[in-house]
Amino acid sequence: MEVYIMILTEKQLKCALRRHIEELEEKTEASRQEIAFRLGVNHITYYGWVSGSKLPSPANLFKLADYFGVKPSDLLQ
């Protein structure tokens, strides 16, 4: 059995997160400001994730994944 470990740079993680958030946002009718409110984060923080300029903390990554109904790892691949 072979196991592969993928190591991504911070830039690659931010890009993947941005892409997945944008795809998932299309499936919801909530605004970005409303999503941020529901996640309990400042809308500027959420915009940072969407723009690819920031990564969420592990706790916020789990909140984000839970909100969209996906696994945290799905957001970063």
* pTM as predicted: 0.86
**What is d(CA 48, CA 55) in angstroms, rounded to the nearest whole number?**
8
The answer to whether residue 2 is domain-embedded is no
- Residue 5 pLDDT grade (very low, low, confident, very high; cuts 50, 70, 90): low
The answer to whether residue 56 is domain-embedded is yes
CB 17 within 8 A of CB 76: yes
The answer to whether residue 4 is domain-embedded is no
The answer to whether residue 27 is domain-embedded is yes
The answer to whether residue 18 is domain-embedded is yes
Per residue in 13-62, pLDDT (tens digit) is: 999 999 999 999 999 999 999 999 999 999 999 999 999 999 999 999 99
Task: Domain of residue 15: give its range.
Answer: 10-75
Count: domains in the chain: 1
- CATH code of the domain containing 33: 1.10.260.40
CB-side neighbour CA atoms (13 Å) of 8: 12
